[in-house]
Amino acid sequence: MLSLAGAIALLWAGLAAAQPAPDPGGAPPATFAEPAGVPAPDGAETPAALPAGAAGADSSGDQVQLSDLVKLGLLLMEPKGGQAVADAAAAPAVPDPTPWAPPYKTGPEGASPVVTPPPALGPGDGTVYAVGDSVLLGTQRYLGATLGGWDLRVDARVSRRWPEGLDVLRQNQASVGQVVVFCLGHNYGGGGFAQSYVDEAIALSARAQRIVFITQTEWTPAQAEVNRAIYAAAARNPKVVVAPWAETVRANPQFLVDNVHPNTGGAIALANLVAVMVGPAPPRTGVAPPRPNILPIPNDPRPTPTPTAPPIGPSTSLPPSSTTTTVPRSTSSTAPTSSTTSAVPATTDPPPTTAAAVP
């Protein structure tokens, strides 16, 4: 594209070339006519240039309109067609803010929250790394089915607290991909540390395009502190998405087998909620993956069966394009060969100081 200085130089060169050589006979040289309506130095208006052949016009054709030279300069300053296309292609794409799905009701009861799904994510590695406690562990078998098309990696352990979960994230940075899901805080005992824990989790997930926090069942005031920290982080960071599980079980107490742990229906409801807030997986090799699969929620009060050692690799309950991997905390490998998870106890370890459940 021609620079502004170059265009001006060409413009003046055109003006100089348009000036005729002096007439040896003494005839006055051709002049450059100003556009009509432009005030002359003495305040009088300069008449418009006369067409060729008209009375008063220079029949030699040497008279040049200044406006024509201005148009020439502007034309020279315009980018070429190919350059304009290249500039448009280089411009960053504007993310589509449209939710990927209609509003979703999280449970069967009338007071169940209705969430607005986030927009679909753009291209990425198609991985979801989930870190959590026994609540996430009991939901793992259904997450593989609801998160259609995603490569799911789960690191969950019974009685896990925030410091251990953050340590797992530090040691397994290779597993941090397009989406990170946190279910931590059910074993938190309070003390005003929740906001710093949540902020550190976000900092350790800086590579992720979306960070999903599951709100914690408020069986003590400490879990309410965690949830306040989650919502405060979501208000500051557009990457953070909240999955309102605490609000869901408050409206659907039948989802729990005790104060914290979901039964089968609750585990499926939580897996559905996480899938809605994660959204659809990005296309791979030009093929659109399956969309999230919302499972029917049974009315089953039985505890969720959790295997002692969750299987490694493809799960029998997953679609062909989905895999679930359990990531041990002792390695940063994204494809481990062993698991450190264990069975879910009937209750969660209590915090240092117990309190009545928050309604």
Question: What is the distance between the alpha carbons of residues 318 and 354, in angstroms, rounded to a whole number?
Answer: 39
The answer to whether residues 276 and 292 touch, using CB atoms and an 8 Å cutoff, is yes
pLDDT in tens, 40-51: 444 444 444 434
Closest CA to 327 of 177, 213, 202: 177
Q: What is the pairing mode between strands 114-115 and 127-132? A: unpaired
Tell me the HSE value of 179 on the side-chain side, using a 13 A CA sphere.
30
Distances 311 to 132, 140, 224, 326, 339 between C-alpha atoms, Å: 17, 11, 33, 8, 8
- What integer pLDDT is reported at residue 285 of this predicted model? 80
The answer to whether residues 302 and 267 touch, using CB atoms and an 8 Å cutoff, is no
Q: Please write down the HEC assignment for all residues of 102-121.
A: CCEECCCCCCCCEECCCECC
- pLDDT of 6 above 90: no
Q: Is 278 exposed, middle or buried (0-12, 13-18, 19+ CB in 10 A)?
A: buried
Mean pLDDT of 196-220: 98
| Confidence (pTM) | 0.62
CA angle, corner 232, sides to 229 and 235, nearest 5?
155
As a whole number, the mean pLDDT across the chain is 74
- What integer pLDDT is reported at residue 238 of this predicted model? 97
pLDDT in tens, 188-205: 999 999 999 999 999 999
Lowest mean pLDDT among 42-51, 214-223, 235-244, 289-298: 42-51
- What integer pLDDT is reported at residue 216 of this predicted model? 98
Instruction: Give the end-to-end CA distance of the chain in Å, rounded to a whole number.
Output: 66
User: Please, where are the H alpha helices in 153-206?
Assistant: 162-171, 194-204
Lowest mean pLDDT among 81-95, 129-143, 201-215, 320-334: 320-334
- pLDDT of 301 above 90: no
**Helices and strands in the chain: count of H runs, count of E runs:** 9, 10
Question: What is the distance between the alpha carbons of residues 51 and 8, in angstroms, rounded to a whole number?
Answer: 27
Question: What is the distance between the alpha carbons of residues 225 and 215, in angstroms, rounded to a whole number?
Answer: 10
pLDDT band (50, 70, 90) for residue 224: very high
DSSP assignments along 91-157, one per residue: SPPPPP-SBSS--EE-SSSTT--EE-PPBPP-SS--EEEEEE-HHHHHHHHHHHHHSTT-EEEEEE-
Question: Token pair of 169, please?
Answer: 């994230």
Which residues, at least 6 apart from 251, have a Cβ–Cβ distance to it below 8 Å?
106, 107, 109, 110, 111, 112, 113
Question: Token pair of 350, please?
Answer: 């209590």
